[in-house]
Amino acid sequence: MAENHDLGIKGEELALAHIQKLGYELLEKNWRFRKMEIDLIARDKKHIVFIEVKTRANDSFGKPYEFVSLSKQKHIARGANYYLENKNILAEARFDIISITLEPNYRLEHLEDAFYP
């Protein structure tokens, strides 16, 4: 279990470095809403971006982004709605997934507009 947690933390650090390199402004990291968490919330030039980060050691069982279920998407959308209302933010929202595979070759895929609420 600790191994998966460490893998998740490493993935979030890599994802954060990636979005900062793109010029995004980090607003929240590991923001909690009820029993769920949104990994990264950032602002680009046009949107508030809610980002789910999925990291896997390898892709033997599939690409990391394939494990963002419809149920998880709905939770993120509900949390995003609460976040925007609670912070009184009127910007357009976007939902991205950053998918990271560490072995055998490091690969980071940033799927913008990965899903719609």
Q: What is the pLDDT of residue 13?
A: 96
pLDDT in tens, 105-117: 899 999 999 998 7
Residue 11: the pLDDT is: 94
State pTM to two decimals: 0.93
Residue type at 115? F
Q: What are phi and psi of 113, to 5 degrees?
A: 50, 45
Closest CA to 77 of 89, 93, 92, 91: 93
- The full set of domain ranges for the chain reads 2-111
* CATH architecture of residue range(s) 2-111: 3-Layer(aba) Sandwich (3.40)
Strand partners, 98: 53, 110
